[in-house]
Every structure is written in structure tokens, then in C-alpha cells.
Amino acid sequence: MAGPGSALAQRVDDNAIASANDAFGQAIGNERVGLYTVDDVRGFNPVDAGNTRIDGLYFAPVDRMPNRLIRGSKVKVGISAQGYPFPAPTGIVDYDLSASAQVDQLTVGFERGQFGSRVLSVDVLQPLAGDLKVYLGGTVRRQNRHEGGNFKSYIGTGGLAWRPWAGASVTAFYARTRTFDDEAAPSIFPGGDYLPPRIRRRAMIGQSWSKRDSTQELAGAMMHLPFGKWQLEAGLFHAERRFDANFTDLFGRMRPDGTTPNRVMVADANNLDRTLSGEARLTRTFGTRALAHRVILSFRGRSGKRRFGGVQSIALGPSSLNFADERPKPNFAFGPDDTDSSGQATLGLGYTITAPGRFLLDVGLSGSRYRKTINFTSAGLVTSVRDRPVTGSVTGSLNLTRSLSVYGGHVRGFEEVAVAPVNAANRGAVPPAIRTQQTDIGLRYAVSPGLSLVAGVFEIKKPYYNLDDDANYRELGISSNRGLEMSLAGTLRPGLSVVLGNVLLDQRISGELVDSGRIGPRPIGSIRRRSIVNIDWRLGGGKSPLSLDIAAESLSSRIGNASNRLLAPPRESIDLGARYRFNVASARALLRVQVANVLDNYGWQVATNGAFQYTVGRRFLAELRVDI
């Protein structure tokens, strides 16, 4: 399925289904496939937790990666995390940098996106001099939102990649994304144990003056330098996001008829989120082909500064979701800003022993120094915390036969917590980092040389943060996510690729608030099951210019409020698509068409703070991609 709003460096031959090794999450260009995404792995958000990498090196993002800067991403979890340096309990998202690609590229793309959205993109990766290459990428977009309204954005990226000798690379890059005229859609909060009424899709029921304006920048440099049995890797990354204007339309205490006694617009401006992060890693390999050893010494660091708060809450009074209830644009008077600063330095030592075709054992140990200081200017309150956690991991796999292997591991981590949501009394505040842990075990079976089955069970434990009775965002108990995940991916026959996945989740909260009955035992927004089916069939045994594909997703009901008495119904979605490859003079071209949500299923998304928004309806997508 294509991710909405994404536009990455993609070539004519790229195909997420045909290239997937498992069903746990992979993106190539503007296509993604798998049970998990960069926002949701086993019921948690790895990006919010700080478990992100660029070409294997640690970095701390402030938002989603700027489009065009990256070629794709992979979710490292379960068996795909085996042997990966310093795994994390919430899983790791590893991004592939466009400038690091090996193959030269000059690709122009034209997209007709959802509901008439228009996108023009260009990707260039060409030799500049000798072993030095230059990458340039850009996108101009006008996106029509499924909730009504639209936004505009432009993206500019550039990079240099130098390969001084075989296996060595030095890369520098910069990306800037500007998004503006982005009207805020209402976030709906039912006032009882009932769903919102069915809202007419694409009807603009927000305020025309609630236009968000943000700028994101990411710059960095990294190197991968092998010296015989030694390898030096290092990366330094600067990430920044600025909100010149931000709005949140809170439709609270909604009645069954779709009205509210008091609609509130939260206006914000002058927000800043900035990080400087990176990693330096020295690796030594030794041993023989029959028994190989690897020792890793790693230093990871991060410093962050945020400016938030100063919001103005504008009471709009009684309102309705059933029509466009436009109000006059108010005068804005923002309060003083709050700030926070944080830093973390981590020294890690890892050891891996591998007997190819027999077993793998990986052990890691890390010690960190962590600090965070929050200055609530309006309240005259300064809070500060320091910690020195020790984390570690033991993972491994064992081949029982040539076709069957088992894997497992235990990982302890130290992770960030998501920002307090817009409907919190302490909106924008970030709690201190938390200790987390994960245990998983499973098996992989090679059904055929091109088809693999993976099945495993897991348990993740971490403190649970959400709103209390006074709308303060704080720790409410302990969250335990237990699950069973299954993947069948690969090639059934030449030209026929499948990615099938299923995850069963048992997400529970324990603690005083659950024991007293003030909140239910399951987190808001959680589901019990997700199933996916993806099939790509290229006719003519994989040689025809025409291929057909189908993507189906089925979700169980979703917890809709803290008491667990409200459920968003189960929903299904089916996407049908086709690709046709052809030549334009000497250039190779691809026409990609897709009808998403063919059955026009109407459902509800539920955020972790309890906000409801309806799902995207049926839409036609078309893209022309040309490799010149």
C-alpha cells in the first residue's frame, strides 16, 4: 500500500512486494508493505522512542524523514533484528539514504494523487568527478486532504557521495521541507460510549483560517571506512523543525447527534524542536569462515532543545460536525514559551559469534548518562532529572536443519516517551526517558528457495503514559504487549510474489488506576489483530511489461476510550493496482495505476489520546515514472 503524502527517490523497477523478505515492514519509494510501519511496531512507535538509524547509524529525528532524502526504510524486529548492532525493545527503523545508492539515476515522476492531488518529483544521482557522485532531489506537491481542504509543500534535497576504495563511502547531505496552507481537521472526542455520526467525506468542516505552516531541515555527514579486518563508521546529524503557525481543532464532549457544547481551537506559534545526534563505531572482525567473530565499540550521543507552550485556547462555543461551521478569524495573543533541553551519551560494547549455516549469538551492553530539564515559564516551575541506565541484549539463532531455524532474545532498553498530546493540560511536555524490555522467540522455515515462513511470539513491557482524570499527561501504570506474529513472503513462481502477514496482540495496562476501575485494562487505540495480504503478479513468467497487484488489510475493533467501553468497529480495505513498463525513445518508463479502498469502507481511526478521525475513502491514484 502506498503511504499517503510520501514521495521518495524511486526508480522504474522498484517494487515493495517483489523485494520484501518478510512481512514485518519495508518501504521503497512511495510504496510500503508489511504488518508494521515507522509509526507502529508491535503496538508502539519506534520513532517516538528514538530507535531510528540512517544507513545503520544512530540519529534522533524530530519528525518524519524528509521525503526524497531517503530511498526507503526497513523495520528491524524479531528475526530481522538478529545480528543487528544494539537492538531496541520497540524495534528499529533503518532508513536508506538516496545519496548512498550505488546505481546512477535520473528519474522524473508525475503523480495524480488522492482526490486530484498533483505531485512533480525529480531524482538525480550522477558522477561528478571520478569516485564522487552528486545527488539532487526535489518535489512540488499540492495535496487534497481526505478530511477536506488541502495543503502545499515543496522539498529540496542534495548530497555528495564519495567512494574512495572498495567498500568505503563518505556521504554528506541536506534536506529542507516546507509545508503550508495546511488546514487543521477536527479531532473528535465523544462525550460518552458512542461513536461519532457518519460525517460526509471530503466536506471541509474545519476553520479556513486554521492554516498550519512548518519547516523541517535535516543535515548530516557519515562515513563507512573498512581497513582490512577493522571498520570505522561514524555519522553526525542535525535535525530541526519549526512551526510558524500551528492549530488543533478540538471537538470535545461530542454528543450522539454530532454537536458539542464548546468547540476549542488551540493556536500555537514559534515552536522549535532541534536535535544534534550521531554515532561513532569501531568494528573488528576475526576468525575463519567456519567460525567468525565481531567486536563492536560504539559511542552514541544526542542533545535536544525544544521551545513549546505559549498556546492560546480559543473557545468557539457550541458547534456541529454536520455542516461547515465557519467562525471569524480571532486575534491571537500567545503566552510565554516553555523550553526543555535534554542530552544522552551512551557507550556500548557488542560481540557476535557466527557459524554460517549453524548458529549466531549476539551480545551487547551499554551504559548511558542522561539528563533532561524542563522550564515551564508560565508556571515559574523548573523540573530536572538525571539518570545513568545500563542496558543490554542477548539474541541468537540456531539452524536445526537446512530449512528450519529458531531464534530468540531478550533486550533491555532506555527510550524516549511521546510528547504530551494537544488535549493535555501539560500539552507539549515530554516526560523523562523510560526503561523498557522485550523478549521474543520464534522460527523460520524455508518453504522453498524463494519463500520463507516466520512465526514468533513476543512480550514488551514499558511504563504507560496517557491522560489522568485532570487531563495531565503522566505515567498511569505499566504496559505489557504480548503477541503472536506470522509472515510468509517471497516468490511462489517466476513473476508471482506474495507477502502475507498476521499479528495477534494482547495489549494490557496494570497499575493503581486499572485496579480502582478509573481506566480500563487496555490502552486507547489498541487493536487485537491485524492481517495483510499482498500479491504481485507479473505476467509472462515475470517478463511481461504488465503486472497486476492486490493489497488487502483487515483490522479488529479498536479501543476507543479510557474506560474500554467504546470500540471502533473492525474494518477492511482492498487496493487493486497495475503497472505497465514501456520505453520512451531511449528512456525506460512506468505507468502505475491503483484504486485504493475499492469497497469504499468507512471506518474510524483512534489516536492514543482518544481522538477520532474517519478513514480515507475510495480514491484513484496514477503515476508516471521515467528513468532517463
> Which of the residue ranges 88-97, 156-165, 371-380, 449-458 would you say has the lowest mean pLDDT?
371-380
Which residue has cell 532531489? 137
pLDDT at residue 377 is higher than 80: yes
Sequence-ordered alpha helix ranges (H) in 496-598: 512-515, 539-542
Q: Which amino acid is at 418?
A: A
Query: Distance between CA atoms of 220 and 98, rounded to whole angstroms?
Result: 13
pLDDT above 70 as % of the chain: 98
| Confidence band, pLDDT 50/70/90 cuts, at residue 228 | very high
Per DSSP, the chain holds a count of helices (H) and strands (E) of 3, 36
CB-based contacts of 357, cutoff 8 Å, min separation 6: 399, 402
Per residue in 284-328, pLDDT (tens digit) is 999 999 999 999 999 999 999 999 888 899 999 999 999 989 999
Which residue has cell 569501531? 282
Across residues 16-41, what is the average pLDDT?
Answer: 92
| Confidence band, pLDDT 50/70/90 cuts, at residue 10 | low
Q: What does DSSP assign to residue 2?
A: B
Helix, strand, coil fractions of the chain, as percent rounded to 5 = 5, 60, 35
| Cα distances (angstroms) measured from residue 579 to each of 20, 330, 341, 371, 490 | 18, 49, 49, 51, 19
Query: Distance between CA atoms of 583 and 590, rounded to whole angstroms?
Result: 8
Q: Where are the beta strands (DSSP E) in 38-190?
A: 52-54, 57-59, 70-76, 92-97, 105-112, 118-129, 132-144, 150-162, 169-183, 186-190
In this prediction, residue 568 carries a pLDDT of 97
**Secondary structure (3-state) at 542:** helix
CB-based contacts of 77, cutoff 8 Å, min separation 6: 24, 25, 36, 41, 42, 91, 92
In this prediction, residue 429 carries a pLDDT of 80
Q: Where are the beta strands (DSSP E) in 7-83?
A: 26-28, 31-33, 52-54, 57-59, 70-76
In the beta sheet, which residues pair with residue 363? Answer: 351, 394
Query: Distance between CA atoms of 263 and 260, rounded to whole angstroms?
Result: 6
Pick from 151, 94, 71: nearest CA to 117: 151
Q: Is the distance from CB of 350 to CB of 296 less than 8 angstroms?
A: yes
Q: Is the distance from CB of 151 to CB of 182 less than 8 angstroms?
A: yes
Q: Which amino acid is at 600?
A: D
Q: Residue 114 phi/psi, 5° resolution?
A: -60, 135
pLDDT above 90 as % of the chain: 81
In this prediction, residue 259 carries a pLDDT of 96
Q: Residue 156 phi/psi, 5° resolution?
A: -130, 130
E strand or H helix that includes residue 393 = strand 390-399
Which residue has cell 489522568? 468
pLDDT at residue 490 is higher than 70: yes
Which residue has cell 507477502? 499
Per residue in 137-190, pLDDT (tens digit) is 999 999 999 998 899 999 999 999 999 999 999 999 999 999 999 999 999 999
pLDDT at residue 8 is higher than 70: no
Query: Distance between CA atoms of 485 and 65, rounded to whole angstroms?
Result: 27
Pick from 35, 193, 125: nearest CA to 567: 193
| Confidence band, pLDDT 50/70/90 cuts, at residue 5 | very low
User: Residues for the chain: how many in total?
Assistant: 628
Q: Which amino acid is at 150?
A: N
The burial class, CB within 10 Å (0-12 / 13-18 / 19+), for 241 is buried
Q: Is the distance from CB of 459 to CB of 436 less than 8 angstroms?
A: no
Query: Distance between CA atoms of 27 and 15, rounded to whole angstroms?
Result: 9
In this prediction, residue 335 carries a pLDDT of 87
111-127 exposure pattern, b = at least 16 Cβ within 10 A, e = fewer: bebbbebebebbbbbee
CB-based contacts of 251, cutoff 8 Å, min separation 6: 186, 187, 188, 189, 260, 263, 319, 321
Separation of CA 40 from chain center: 7
412-437 exposure pattern, b = at least 16 Cβ within 10 A, e = fewer: bbbbbbbbbbbbbebbbbbbbbbbbe
| Cα distances (angstroms) measured from residue 84 to each of 94, 286, 448, 486, 532 | 11, 18, 25, 21, 26
Pick from 28, 23, 3, 1: nearest CA to 13: 28
| Confidence band, pLDDT 50/70/90 cuts, at residue 420 | confident
| Domains of the chain, earliest start first | 16-627 (2.40.170.20)
Pick from 263, 466, 410, 349: nearest CA to 85: 349
Pick from 43, 6, 50, 48: nearest CA to 28: 6
In the beta sheet, which residues pair with residue 183? Answer: 211
| Confidence band, pLDDT 50/70/90 cuts, at residue 48 | confident
Q: Is the distance from CB of 492 to CB of 498 less than 8 angstroms?
A: yes
Q: Residue 79 phi/psi, 5° resolution?
A: -70, -25
Query: Distance between CA atoms of 336 and 583, rounded to whole angstroms?
Result: 59
Q: Is the distance from CB of 401 to CB of 445 less than 8 angstroms?
A: no
pLDDT at residue 6 is higher than 60: no
